[in-house]
């Protein structure tokens, strides 16, 4: 019999429920991950006990319970501050609002609970005493690398269309082939995503973008991506009419994403997905008939903002995405001075994000570039300059100067906007390397300015 170890706390919850005469299993993602040889994020538990029975059993042992999801049968049990979701066997009613099941019905048998789950690999339960419950062949699918809906794919996506994007996310994370009928249903029913809440879609979409196999999924299911983000559709097969670019805009974007380093976060990846969203609106031709998209970053910024607003991203996330789209066409600094100015303009964090985006953008050109190509040399040089400047702890704003407003007022600068003006002039002089960021030097320089 297949066996794997559960964390002590999860095993304790199963033991307590069983000792009170209930059935209990770990279920869903954790079973899948354990069989995959990955360590699960969290261990969910499914049980025949009803919510109040779960609470009674746990509280008798002095364990704290949080009953936030109780209408859906979920009690969160805290063991050493770690939360475990314990959910009564249940089936879901319709998702008429695309958000929550209208009703949930508690069940007595685990099979029904497994049948409500989305994909075969997520529909397995396990208990060290009784072993693996796998009524839909999830383990075989897992080993074959196949993602398959539980039951009839169309019916399951009609119940809850979010499963379409969840399926893409799992395929992107684990590098799975989506089984033919499931795949067909994803394409055919993508319009149902219009009624799913944007917050739920964003959770899955951002997970998808971070998957190691995201690009092949985005390519194969581009129609789904365009259903969720129609503003990207004009990129599809949009010819750039310029030999500098090997690919159309959409293919270029996918190649750029392919180059994203593993540690790049979801927000920056999203900016990369949207970075050329303005391009199809900006094509012009020069006298030789070559295409250009001058200003596409400016045109793209408000479009990217709209997309972020649609997904209700936080203000900070929206600003990051819009900023990176707006400034991704920067000219690569090639001197100490221009690098200092670049860092001053964007700040160290944004400057590094912009470089990360730009490196991917370059990879997305699609041409094999030897290490000594002018572009690669420019990047290598700029990266050294950036590291030098960041390590030298240069000045990024007037607050980093060795003098402040009070010093200037003592020199006779009248309180008011003039103080700021002089400080900015001093800042510029420091950034340009004309003055040291040293109190005496700055005061001398301020005196000259005055
Ligand atoms: P992750 O490791 O990313 O959390 P997961 O499989 O645990 O993956 P969750 O969103 O945490 O995914 O959901 C837990 C389980 O609940 C899933 O494995 C699946 O069995 C079930 N589930 C979640 N969302 C749905 C849904 N929309 N439709 C059907 N079943 C779902
Ligand atoms: Mg989970």
The CATH class of the 232-394 domain is mainly alpha
145-228 with 398-449: one CATH topology?
no
Query: DSSP letter at 378?
Result: H
d(CA 41, CA 372): 43
The reply to whether ligand 1 has any atom less than 6 angstroms from the CB of 117 is yes
Radius of gyration of the CA atoms of the chain, in A: 28
Residue 317 corresponds to which tokens in the numbers above? 């996330």
Report the C-alpha gap between 234 and 382 in whole angstroms. Answer: 33
Q: What are phi and psi of 94, to 5 degrees?
A: -70, 155
Q: Is 118 in the pocket of ligand 1 (CB under 6 A)?
A: yes
**162 CA: nearest ligand 1 atom:** 27
**pLDDT tens sequence across 263-307:** 999 999 999 999 999 999 998 889 998 888 889 999 999 999 999
Question: pLDDT value at position 165?
Answer: 98
* 1-144 topology per CATH: Beta Polymerase; domain 2 (3.30.460)
Bridge-based pairing state of the strands 44-47 and 131-133: unpaired
pLDDT at res. 98: 60
The C-alpha torsion from 97 through 99 and 105 to 107, rounded to 10°, is 150
Nearest-angstrom CA–CA distance, 278 and 275: 8
Q: What are phi and psi of 59, to 5 degrees?
A: -70, -30
Q: What is the pTM of this model?
A: 0.91
DSSP assignments along 87-103, one per residue: EE-EEE---TTSSS-S-
Confirm if 238 and 279 have CB atoms less than 8 A apart. yes
The pLDDT score that the predictor gives to residue 393 is: 67
Residue nearest to atom 11 of ligand 1 (CA): 29
Ligand 1 within 6 A of CB of 235: no
The per-residue pLDDT for 259 is 96
Which burial class, exposed, middle or buried, applies to 316 when counting CB atoms under 10 A from its CB (0-12, 13-18, 19+)? exposed
Q: Which CATH architecture has domain 145-228?
A: Orthogonal Bundle (1.10)
Task: Please give the pLDDT value at position 170.
Answer: 98
List the domain boundaries for the chain. Answer: 1-144, 145-228, 232-394, 398-449
Residues of the chain falling short of pLDDT 50:
none
Q: Any residues with CB less than 8 A from the CB of 184 and at least 6 apart, and which?
A: 153
CB 362 near ligand 1, within 6 Å? no
Cβ–ligand 1 distance for 26 under 6 Å, the answer: no
Distance 154 CA to ligand 2 centre (A): 24
| CA 77 to ligand 2 center in whole angstroms | 16
In this predicted structure, what is the pLDDT of residue 97? 66
CATH number (1.25.40, 1.10.490, 3.90.550, 1.10.246) of 398-449 reads: 1.10.246
Residue 204 Cβ contacting ligand 1 at under 6 Å:
no
């Amino acid at each position: 019999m297949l066996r794997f170890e559960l964390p002590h706390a999860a095993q304790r919850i199963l033991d307590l429920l069983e000792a009170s005469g209930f059935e209990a299993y770990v279920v869903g993602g954790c079973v899948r991950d354990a069989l995959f040889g990955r360590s699960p994020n969290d261990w969910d538990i499914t049980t025949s006990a009803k919510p109040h029975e779960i609470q009674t059993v746990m509280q008798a042992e002095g364990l704290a319970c949080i009953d936030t999801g109780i209408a859906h049968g979920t009690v969160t049990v805290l063991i050493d501050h770690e939360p475990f979701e314990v959910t009564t066997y249940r089936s879901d009613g319709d998702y008429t609002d695309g958000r929550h099941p209208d009703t949930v019905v508690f069940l007595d048998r685990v099979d029904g609970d497994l049948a409500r789950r989305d994909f075969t690999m997520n529909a397995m339960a396990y208990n060290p005493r009784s072993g693996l419950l796998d009524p839909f062949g999830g383990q075989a699918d897992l080993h074959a690398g196949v993602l398959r809906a539980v039951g009839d794919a169309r019916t399951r996506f009609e119940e809850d269309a979010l499963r379409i994007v969840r399926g893409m996310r799992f395929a992107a994370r684990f590098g799975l082939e989506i089984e033919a009928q499931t795949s067909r249903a994803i394409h055919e029913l993508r319009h149902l995503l219009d009624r799913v809440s944007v917050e739920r879609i964003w959770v899955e979409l951002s997970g998808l973008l971070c998957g190691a196999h995201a690009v092949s999924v985005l390519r194969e299911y581009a129609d789904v991506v365009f259903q969720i983000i129609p503003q990207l559709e004009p990129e599809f097969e949009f010819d750039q009419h310029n030999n500098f670019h090997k690919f159309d805009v959409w293919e270029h974007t996918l190649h750029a994403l392919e180059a994203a380093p593993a540690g790049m976060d979801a927000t920056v990846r999203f900016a990369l997905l949207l970075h050329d969203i303005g391009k199809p609106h900006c094509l012009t031709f020069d006298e030789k008939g070559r295409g250009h998209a001058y200003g596409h970053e400016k045109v793209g910024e408000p479009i990217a903002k709209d997309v972020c607003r649609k997904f209700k991203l936080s203000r900070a996330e929206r600003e990051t995405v819009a900023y990176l789209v707006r400034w991704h066409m920067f000219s690569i600094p090639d001197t100490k001075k221009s690098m200092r100015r670049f860092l001053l303009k964007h700040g160290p964090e944004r400057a590094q994000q912009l470089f990360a985006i730009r490196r991917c953008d370059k990879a997305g050109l699609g041409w094999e570039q030897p290490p000594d190509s002018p572009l690669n040399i420019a990047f290598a040089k700029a990266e050294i300059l950036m590291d030098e400047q960041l390590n030298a702890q240069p000045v990024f704003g007037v607050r980093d100067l060795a003098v402040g407003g009070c010093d200037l007022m003592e020199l006779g600068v009248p309180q008011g906007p003039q103080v700021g003006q002089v400080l900015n002039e001093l800042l510029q002089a420091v950034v340009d390397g004309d003055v040291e960021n040293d109190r005496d030097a700055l005061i001398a320089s301020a005196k000259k300015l005055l």
